[in-house]
Each structure stands twice: as structure tokens, then as C-alpha cells.
């Protein structure tokens, strides 16, 4: 138990969550990696266990548990005892809040019960070939046709792209204004909506990632989230939590890598002693222990800030940057400590190493995080240029 962060109720919840992942997820992880996606049933089973969209109001079938620490526990236990490719966090806290915070009463009643039961699997479609971290470069467009919007374009690198049933799709609603973006709920089976190939990736093999295509898709006004001119600002509104979610998983992955490496170096013998007996390796483990602990304290602090409604975008960027960089260093060092075995897929550290590389890219690259942080401490070249112009 991390002192002062979790209480007895949290730890009781953790025990039940751990058992769920050990029983329902871990036994299927290898087959899911081979097929390139998780089975749809896992969402339904998670829904039956009450692990989906816990924060949603009971009026729509949720538990009304707003404490983000419960979500943190789900993420940690999935990384440790489930399958990192099962993007339960994407469904729970990346996409669902768009509906709860921006959706109309009719939209909430229509979509949330299925999200909570696991019958409706969620995804969010922002990224395009020429617009990742720079959302202003988006080319997907939605033309207002009165009773509906006509959606055209394509998205790429979309998580849950194959198994997803409902996507929050970002599209430009005014070609003359780069940041005028709308958010649209696109449902499986809508005419003109299709999926491309399942993309092969370096890691996260069981997480289905795909291209999505929109060819004159008629999106009724009933499927528009909020003001179709303010989507850019809505996206910014949710980015802080998205980056914290990332940080929670990154430090959990680093902890898993540390634990399995500790077991390995205690058993593996070289020159008449264990790998752990060499001072250089003991010092490496000491360094990693310190880095993980410092990161965990900061991430836990950010979780409390989120619970209090005080998590700012710059703080979340620091958490995302620091946690992803620590994860990268730790998994790399742990592969080295495994020696040749670390390069073999039969050893878990190999999967952790490949999975970790994306952490410094998605949800905003480390370079973008540094730019955000630099601006937050007063190093904003835009303001400097504006001052000279005045």
C-alpha cells in the first residue's frame, strides 16, 4: 500500500480487480497477441464486474464513483496481471468523458448504458497522417447540411479501430479556420464509414490499431457533441486527464519490468555467483528503484490534483514526460540485465520493452510535452515575438 494514497477500501477493490485480470485476461494474452486484438467478450465481462465507466452517474447504469484512484488501480492491475493491449483505460476515461461532459441528455441515455455494460466498445479518432500532435493540421472535414453533417476524410493509428462500435471523430467544420473543429459520434454500420487494415506495430500486439475512412457519412445532428465549432477547445479540455492516464500506465509498466528483472537476476548465475551479486547490477537496481519511486509519488500527487479539480495541463505534461522517459530507461536497463534472454519473446521483458516505445510518442510526444512545460515557466517565443512587434 502506498502510504496516504490508498485506503483499505481501495485495497479491497484492488484484490478483486487483480483476481479479475488473472482469471479473465492473463490466460488469453498470448492468443490475443497472435490474433492482433482482444476478444470483444472481455469488455462485456469487465462490465459485469463493474469495471467499466465507474464514474458515470447511476441514472445511466454507472456506479457514480468519481475517485480517480479506483481507475488508477484498474490500470495498474491490468499492466501487472492482465494484458497492456487491453485498452480498458481508453474506453473508461479517455472516451466516455466526452459523452458525459459534452453529450446531451438524449445522447447519454442512448449511449452510456451500452458503454457501461461493455456491449458498446469506444474509440476516439483524432490522428491523421499529417496531423498527430498538431491538431490544427487536421484535414478530415464535416460540412453542415442542416439536419446532418456530411463527414469526409480518414484517420489513422486509431486504437480499438477494428473492434470499436462508437467513435468520437474530430473533423474541421470550417476550412477557413484551422481550429474550428467539431466532435461527432460515428456508429458502427453508418453508411460510408469503413475500416482499413489492421496496422502492424512494434508492440502492444493485442491492441487493434487501424485506419478509419469516412466517405460522405451522414452524421445526424443528434450525434454532434456540443458546439460543432468548439471541438478544438473540448479536445484541450480532456488532454490533461489523458496524459495522466498515460503516466499511470507508464510507471506501472516500469514497476513490472523491475519486479521480473529482480526475480531473474537473483536466479541467473554467472562466474559462480548470481547476476544480482555483482555490485554494478545492484547499483543499477538501486537507481531504477529510486526513479520508479520518485515517479510514482509525482503521479499519485497528480491523481489527487485531478480528484480535487486542480490538475493543469502543464502539470499533466510533466507527469507524462517524466513517467514515459523513466519507463523507457527502466525497460531498456532491464533488457540489458536479462542478457540474451531479454531479446527473446518468451521472456516478458521483451514485450515490455517493445510496448514502452510508444509511450514517448502518443498522447503528445516528449518534445511536445517539453514545449508545453517550457511555455508554462515563461519561455514562450510567441509572446516574445508579439512583444517585439508592439
pLDDT, tens digit (0-9, with 9 covering 90-100), for 227-246: 999 999 999 999 999 999 99
Q: How do residues 295-316 score in pLDDT, each as one tens digit?
A: 999 999 999 999 999 999 999 9
Residue 162 three-state SS: coil
Query: Which helix (H) or strand (E) segment is 188 a member of?
Result: none
Q: What is the CA radius of gyration of the chain?
A: 22
Average pLDDT of the chain is: 95
pLDDT average, residue stretch 265-279: 95
Q: Which residue has the cell 517539453?
A: 370
Please give the grid coordinates belonging to residue 118: 461493455
Q: What's the pTM value of the predicted model, to 2 decimals?
A: 0.95
Whether the predicted pLDDT of 277 surpasses 60 = yes
pLDDT of residue 387: 66
Q: How do residues 113-132 score in pLDDT, each as one tens digit?
A: 999 999 999 999 999 987 76
pLDDT of residue 382: 79
What percent of the chain clears pLDDT 90, i.e. is strictly above it? 92
Confidence of residue 182 (pLDDT cuts 50, 70, 90): very high
DSSP characters over 199-237 = PP-SS-TTS-EEEEEEEEEEEEGGGEES-TT-HHHHHHH
Whether the predicted pLDDT of 390 surpasses 60 = no
pLDDT of residue 145: 97
pLDDT of residue 349: 98
Report the half-sphere exposure of 27 (CA within 13 A, side-chain side): 6
pLDDT average, residue stretch 197-215: 97
pLDDT of residue 149: 98
pLDDT of residue 55: 98
Q: CA 74, 249, 374: angle at the middle one, nearest 5?
A: 135
Whether the predicted pLDDT of 181 surpasses 60 = yes
Q: How do residues 19-37 score in pLDDT, each as one tens digit?
A: 999 999 999 999 999 999 9
| Residue 242 falls in the annotated catalytic set | yes
Contacts of residue 182, defined as CB under 8 A and 6 or more positions apart, other chains included, come to: 142, 149, 170, 171, 172, 173, 224, 225, 227, 228, 229, 231
Report the half-sphere exposure of 260 (CA within 13 A, side-chain side): 24
| Catalytic hit among 242, 346, 367, 371 | 242
Whether the predicted pLDDT of 133 surpasses 70 = no
Lowest mean pLDDT among 30-34, 133-137, 198-202, 339-343: 133-137
Domains with residue ranges and CATH for the chain: 8-120 (1.10.540.10), 123-229 (2.40.110.10), 233-382 (1.20.140.10)
pLDDT of residue 229: 96
pLDDT of residue 178: 80
pLDDT average, residue stretch 253-276: 96
Amino acid at each position: 500500500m502506498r502510504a496516504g494514497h490508498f485506503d483499505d477500501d481501495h485495497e479491497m477493490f484492488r484484490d478483486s480487480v487483480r483476481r479479475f485480470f488473472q482469471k479473465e485476461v492473463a490466460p488469453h494474452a498470448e492468443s490475443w497477441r497472435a490474433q492482433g486484438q482482444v476478444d470483444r467478450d472481455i469488455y462485456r465481462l469487465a462490465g459485469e464486474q463493474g469495471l467499466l465507466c465507474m464514474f458515470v452517474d447511476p441514472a445511466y447504469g454507472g456506479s457514480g464513483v468519481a475517485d480517480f484512484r479506483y481507475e488508477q488501480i484498474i490500470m495498474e492491475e491490468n499492466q501487472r496481471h492482465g494484458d497492456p493491449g487491453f485498452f480498458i483505460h481508453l474506453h473508461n476515461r479517455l472516451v466516455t468523458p466526452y459523452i458525459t461532459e459534452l453529450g446531451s441528455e438524449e445522447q447519454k441515455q442512448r449511449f452510456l448504458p451500452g458503454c457501461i455494460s461493455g456491449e458498446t466498445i469506444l474509440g476516439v479518432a483524432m490522428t491523421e497522417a499529417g496531423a498527430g500532435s498538431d491538431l490544427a493540421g487536421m484535414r478530415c472535414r464535416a460540412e453542415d447540411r442542416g439536419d446532418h453533417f456530411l463527414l469526409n476524410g480518414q484517420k489513422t493509428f486509431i486504437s480499438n479501430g477494428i473492434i470499436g462500435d462508437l467513435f468520437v471523430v474530430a473533423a474541421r467544420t470550417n476550412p477557413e479556420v484551422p481550429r474550428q473543429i467539431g466532435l461527432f459520434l460515428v456508429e458502427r454500420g453508418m453508411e460510408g464509414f469503413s475500416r482499413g487494415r489492421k496496422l502492424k506495430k512494434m508492440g502492444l500486439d493485442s491492441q487493434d490499431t487501424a485506419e478509419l475512412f469516412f466517405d460522405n457519412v451522414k452524421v445526424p445532428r443528434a450525434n454532434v457533441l456540443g458546439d460543432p465549432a468548439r471541438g478544438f477547445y473540448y479536445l484541450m479540455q480532456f488532454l490533461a486527464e489523458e496524459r495522466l492516464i498515460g503516466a499511470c500506465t507508464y510507471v506501472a509498466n516500469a514497476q513490472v519490468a523491475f519486479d521480473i528483472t529482480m526475480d531473474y537476476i537473483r536466479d541467473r548465475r554467472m562466474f559462480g555467483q548470481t547476476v544480482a551479486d555483482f555490485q554494478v547490477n545492484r547499483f543499477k537496481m538501486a537507481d531504477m528503484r529510486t526513479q520508479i519511486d520518485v515517479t510514482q509519488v509525482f503521479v499519485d500527487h497528480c491523481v489527487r490534483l485531478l480528484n480535487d479539480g486542480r490538475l493543469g495541463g502543464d502539470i499533466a505534461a510533466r507527469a507524462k514526460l517524466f513517467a514515459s522517459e523513466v519507463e523507457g530507461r527502466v525497460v531498456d536497463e532491464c533488457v540489458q540485465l536479462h542478457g540474451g534472454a531479454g531479446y527473446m519473446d518468451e521472456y516478458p521483458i521483451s514485450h515490455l520493452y517493445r510496448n514502452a516505445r510508444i509511450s514517448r510518442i502518443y498522447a503528445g510526444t516528449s518534445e511536445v510535452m517539453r514545449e508545453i512545460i517550457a511555455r508554462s515557466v515563461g519561455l514562450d517565443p510567441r509572446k516574445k515575438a508579439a512583444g517585439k512587434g508592439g
